[in-house]
A and B are shown apart, each in its own frame.
Chain A
Amino acid sequence: MSETKFEPKIIAFLCNWCTYAGADLAGTGRKEYQANVRIIKLPCTGGIDPLFLIKAFERGADGILVSGCHPGDCHYNSGNYHARRRWNVFRPLLEFCGINPERIQFSWISAAEGGKWVETINGVVDAVRALGPFEGYQKLNTMGPDISGEAATSGETG
């Protein structure tokens, strides 16, 4: 167990209309990408509460990707614009609290950009792998009750 290589756990919050479809396209196009990502599909990036990200870290995520439609392409017209405002302040807040911003990444990927999805997710996985497990946050679980669930085992390798 102690010898196993660290494999980061990445949670991706994707909008239903663009990035999720883009990831789907990558799949149907039989493009390969690193299997470290767990996708959570949501209607729109505008509906992603920053608490989702905090919860993901609590449950043992090493890195997070939030991705949606390009500006101007939102299925609900302005959801991604509102989301962008939010991340513009939330990201510096986490950074201010000592969380490496590389652990939370953002992208715009359309339904046609299967290639960009592959590239982006590989980039996120590599970046987080280089950072190592998010020990700081996972240690918070050991001080409170451990709720990181079965998946927490990957964190123990670090």
Chain B
Amino acid sequence: MWQSILFNLIQVAVVVGLAPLVEGVLHRMEENVQSKRGPNIFQVYRDLWKLLQKDEIVSEESSWIFRVAPYVAFVMPIFVTLLIPVLTRYPLFFAFMGDMLAAGFLLALGGFFMALAAVDAANPYGAMGASRTRMVGFLAEPVFMMVFFTVSFTAGSTIPYIVQTSWTAVPGGFFEPVHILVILAFLMLILADESRIPVDNPSGQFELAMIGKSKYLEYSGRGAALIKWAGCMKFMVLTCVLCNVLVTPWGLAAEHTLVAVLLAIPLVLFKTLIFLLVLVVIESSLAKLRLFRISEFLSAAFVICLLAMVTRLMGS
């Protein structure tokens, strides 16, 4: 049991510690694709360090929500990390505390507090960004539920550790249409939820066009650092769900030894790198959608997921 708890803590440490690195690599790759040199891959750590050194300025008009929100947003991805497979293919100590639905709701809770905080600061851009994020969130919700249902139908369970093994249980199961379609739908979901390119421009600096970023405009110092860090972790958590739960459990530790778990870290990072490559290709080949066309993007994801369910339930 103690070993199980230890492995769980290692998982959390990996996510907390390496999430900024993943973000840094992504930035670097994006710039490289655009024929620029790009920032150092450790630049995110430096930013975080710099922000933590600075004073925090909080508006007198704002309430406690504004102060609490960064902590909530920071803690939620850590909770989720306890539930999902990051390094191992066998369930760890906290694995049965919650299923994929719980993970989704925990992440949504962080987002909810951020939206409240954005409105709380009374910056007009914040409220605008919050309402847009909510709009995307409402449209993404049915897709998330469909992914969840499809996966649970296929695997007969909603615990991520059990789901991940179901794809490799039968030979050729990897190529089942349901698997491919669910992966595709979830990828589109990540793009929407993480405010990435066809939905939002993460590197845009124009407040009027922002969807995700405008919520954090009022934060400074420690609050800004926590939010930035939380964003990195959330991204890494979703990447892990996609790579480890939905795609395959390949590369994860199968044995209950510390060495195996530690060896899994570079393999997982490698898988993440491949995912980042895909993401960079998507982001540099697509243009940002107009706001009212986001609904088309997400309804496409919904229909893809529905198709996955149909082919699964009726096809075999």
Query: Do A and B actually bind?
Result: no
